[in-house]
Amino acid sequence: MKYLRKIFGIFLCLSLAVCSVGAESAEEYKVGPGDSLNISISLQGSLRDLSKISLFLPIQIVGESVYSSLQVVVGPDGYISIPSLEYPVRVAGLPLVEVENLVAVKLRLPSRGRSVSVSLLCPNSVPFFIWGEVAHPGRFIFDRPMTLMEGLSYAGGPTPYAQLKKVMVIRQNERAQIFNLSARKMIQEGPSLIWLNPSDTVIVPKKWTADMSVWFLVLTIIATAAAVKIASD
């Protein structure tokens, strides 16, 4: 098993190296309910620009520039609340760049010298699930585009009883897929770049061991004996 874990670790490192290139073409992160965002606003102009920023927010004035920032959590309905605005702003489903543009428009900032920056503090809206023979099964959160190999590492890696030849990925509106992540397969073909999607469920089955075979044989004998007794009665 130590050999298997070493092989898994080596190919995970290779997978991460390739992912750093492939991630550029992966789907851009989109904001969702539960995400924590930091919104930074920088204005250049007169002090009248202060009207664009709530007096309840901390501000800094440097020369003719006014700076402010706030942290918000996207609500279950997909909206965020900004103190300067009368109505909440819907941001769910938007990339961070589009959220920046939307906030700037809603605040009616001047087209010149305006700067709104939105960063993701804590993603909490794009989960995936890993169950079965892994060290720490459960719900995990995407913080960037991720492959199946990386997902398994998030769950602590496979247990000694993991059947890596038949790892199942269940995806919404699609038929379940089976992938071979065995050491032999990776040695022959290299690490598998299988990208996980939001809400994917990964199931790592258990190997069929000798102990399980014995118990199955015992149960079969008991069931057969019971059937014969019932028939004779």
The whole-angstrom separation of Cα 19 and Cα 134 is: 22
Full-model pTM? 0.55
Residue 141 has a pLDDT of 87
Residue 23 has a pLDDT of 40
Residue 209 has a pLDDT of 62
Report the CATH number at residue 100: 3.30.1950
74 and 111 assigned to the same domain: yes
Asked if 129 contacts 138 with a C-beta cutoff of 8 angstroms, the reply is yes
Residue 230 domain-assigned?
A: no
92 and 116 assigned to the same domain: yes
Residue 220 domain-assigned?
A: no
Measured in whole angstroms, how far is the alpha carbon of residue 124 from the centre of its chain? Answer: 8
Residue 214 domain-assigned?
A: no
Report the CATH number at residue 133: 3.10.560.10
Mapped onto helix, strand or coil, the DSSP state of residue 207 is coil
End of a domain among 104, 122, 140?
A: 122
Asked if 103 contacts 118 with a C-beta cutoff of 8 angstroms, the reply is yes
Residue 226 domain-assigned?
A: no
pLDDT, one tens digit for every residue, the chain (233 residues): 454 455 455 444 544 444 443 443 345 678 888 899 999 887 665 555 555 555 556 666 666 667 778 899 999 999 999 887 888 999 998 999 999 989 888 887 765 655 788 988 888 877 899 999 999 999 998 877 788 989 999 999 999 889 999 999 999 888 999 999 988 888 888 777 888 888 899 999 988 765 555 555 666 777 776 666 666 66
Residue 155 domain-assigned?
A: yes
113 and 46 assigned to the same domain: yes
Residue 212 domain-assigned?
A: no
The helix (run of H) or strand (run of E) holding residue 79 is: strand 79-80
End of a domain among 122, 141, 168?
A: 122
Residue 15 has a pLDDT of 46
Helices (H), the chain: 2-22, 96-106, 148-154, 183-189, 210-232
Structure-block tokens of residue 194: 């299988």
118 and 41 assigned to the same domain: yes
- Print the domain residue range for 47: 36-122
End of a domain among 82, 102, 122?
A: 122
Parallel/antiparallel/unpaired status of strands 59-62 and 79-80:
unpaired
Burial 158-175 (b: 16+ CB within 10 A, else e): beeebbbeebebeeeeee
The whole-angstrom separation of Cα 100 and Cα 86 is: 18
Residue 61 domain-assigned?
A: yes
9 and 65 assigned to the same domain: no
How many domains, in total, are found in the chain?
2
Q: What are the DSSP E strand ranges found in 106-164?
A: 114-122, 127-132, 138-141
21 and 45 assigned to the same domain: no
Residue 69 domain-assigned?
A: yes
Residue 24 has a pLDDT of 38
